[in-house]
A and B are shown apart, each in its own frame.
Chain A
Amino acid sequence: MDNLFWIFISAMVINNFTLSYFLGLCPFFGVSNKIATAFRMGLANIFVLVITALCSWVLNTFILLHAPYLRLISFIIVIASSVQFVEMAVKKLSPALFKALGIFLPLITTNCAILGFALFATNKGYGLIEGLIYALGAGAGLTLALVIMAGIREETKILDIPEVIQGTALNMIIAGILSMAFMGFAGLFITS
């Protein structure tokens, strides 16, 4: 139990996917204009990550034992297509959920955060339950980073910022400072 808790916390804040592994930077800079959109993007990420955890576990336990060199190709294809299937199912079963997450799903199926998650979980040798917890933690971390970033960017819109620093340069520097703040969580392991 304790171990699962630490997997979650570690994936969420200590080794935050965006701010310390640089994964999923495209949505991090692309969809962080508004808090509401950023939050929905984060939820869509959690959704896809959970599907990924299931797929990669199935592939690793049943198929890839015999052919490890096919790992990359099979991960990408299986993840992308199963997300599409689930997307169709959600569209049929729960139009409200589809409306909230739908437009983001195609964008993130081949995102580096998703593939990176599958590879990290494989390298760490996680089982099914650990993998699912890891997915939830990583997704929560992505959501947290997105929402904080969106909050800061909403504030910067009403400020008078020199033209030369506006755009990506400013976002990068904000992300750098955020990342520094998240480094503080590394102390959690020492005190525990």
Chain B
Amino acid sequence: MEHLNESKRYHDEFVKGIWKENPVFIAVLGLCPALAVSNTAINSLAMAAATMFVLICSSILVSIFRNVIPKEVRITSFVIIIATFVTVADFTLQAFVPKIHKDLGAFIALIVVNCLILGRQEAFAFKNNVKLAAVDALGMSLGFGFALFCLGAIREILGNGSLFDVHLFGPHFEPWVIMILPPGGFLSLGFLLLFFNWFKVRQQQVKAKQEHIEQFNPIISLNSKG
């Protein structure tokens, strides 16, 4: 039984980052990299991978040292740990994929100030064991990657008519250039958030209606359940 509970806990911590507490769509964290580099799908995937590496490594390290780091200087220590891994990611990308590194520019270095990463260290890794911290970091960074990929794919398809540099619509497609320029980032994230809000409101309405029926009409609700 205990074993079951524990595996359920891991499962919950993993899934929450992807959907229920999605860092970009629900908590609206880490906007700066999410908007700045999501003009093509490939750039947003590279950014997501770099963020994932930094988040997982620093969560694990913070969690290992959680009993050693004094509480008063914890934020500074988190920042130093994060900055170290970002430097590693920066030089690795520069060595292996120089073209992408050039496209992303200073935004790789700016992962340090991504509030999502610091937030996870403060809210989770500093209080939990290594395994849980790693699972949480994996879930959160997958959620972040999912959001980034959505934005990048939408912007690349509308703004350039292509996905991963493969042209989709043939020669007559007139690209909607504004989408790959900065305003497109704000607009597409705005509309995605609008969609999520609408989804949430609708879910609440359906739930309220269901409760209303159950309260006043037990027979119907019994039938509908059976």
A residues contacting B by CB (< 8 A) are 19-26, 29, 69, 72-73, 76-77, 80, 110-112, 115-116, 119-120, 123, 163-165, 167-173, 175-177, 179-180, 183
**Contact between B193 and A183 (Cβ–Cβ < 8 Å)?**
no
Majority DSSP secondary structure for residues of A touching B: helix
Minimum CB–CB distance from A165 to chain B (whole Å) comes to: 6
Judge if B218 is at the interface, Cβ distance under 8 Å.
no
- What are 10 A-B pairs at a CB distance below 8 A? A23-B110, A29-B28, A77-B76, A77-B80, A167-B197, A171-B190, A172-B190, A172-B193, A176-B186, A180-B178
**Contact between A111 and B113 (Cβ–Cβ < 8 Å)?**
yes
Majority DSSP secondary structure for residues of B touching A: helix
Scoring B residues 87 to 118 as 1 if CB is less than 8 Å from chain A, else 0, what string do you get? 10011000000000000011001101111000
Contacts of A112 in B (CB 8 A): 32, 110, 113-114
Judge if B173 is at the interface, Cβ distance under 8 Å.
no
Alpha-carbon distance between A173 and B195 when the two chains are bound, in angstroms: 13
**Contact between A73 and B87 (Cβ–Cβ < 8 Å)?**
yes
Contacts of A77 in B (CB 8 A): 76, 79-80
Closest chain A residue to B32, Cβ basis = A112
**Contact between B35 and A22 (Cβ–Cβ < 8 Å)?**
yes
Judge if B187 is at the interface, Cβ distance under 8 Å.
yes
Closest chain A residue to B186, Cβ basis = A176
Judge if B84 is at the interface, Cβ distance under 8 Å.
yes
Contacts of B79 in A (CB 8 A): 76-77, 80, 110
Minimum CB–CB distance from B121 to chain A (whole Å) comes to: 13
Closest chain A residue to B88, Cβ basis = A69
Q: Which of B32, B105, B178, B190 contacts A173 (CB 8 A)?
A: B190
Closest chain A residue to B87, Cβ basis = A72
**Contact between B84 and A73 (Cβ–Cβ < 8 Å)?**
yes
**Contact between A22 and B112 (Cβ–Cβ < 8 Å)?**
no
Closest chain A residue to B81, Cβ basis = A73
Minimum CB–CB distance from B7 to chain A (whole Å) comes to: 35
Do A119 and B87 contact each other (CB < 8 Å), given the known contacts A26-B115, A173-B191, A177-B183? no
Contacts of B220 in A (CB 8 A): none
Judge if B180 is at the interface, Cβ distance under 8 Å.
no
**Contact between A116 and B197 (Cβ–Cβ < 8 Å)?**
no
Scoring B residues 146 to 190 as 1 if CB is less than 8 Å from chain A, else 0, what string do you get? 000000000000000000000000000000001001111111011
Minimum CB–CB distance from B185 to chain A (whole Å) comes to: 7
Alpha-carbon distance between A20 and B112 when the two chains are bound, in angstroms: 20
Judge if B36 is at the interface, Cβ distance under 8 Å.
yes
**Contact between A22 and B76 (Cβ–Cβ < 8 Å)?**
no
**Contact between A69 and B112 (Cβ–Cβ < 8 Å)?**
no
Contacts of A120 in B (CB 8 A): 106
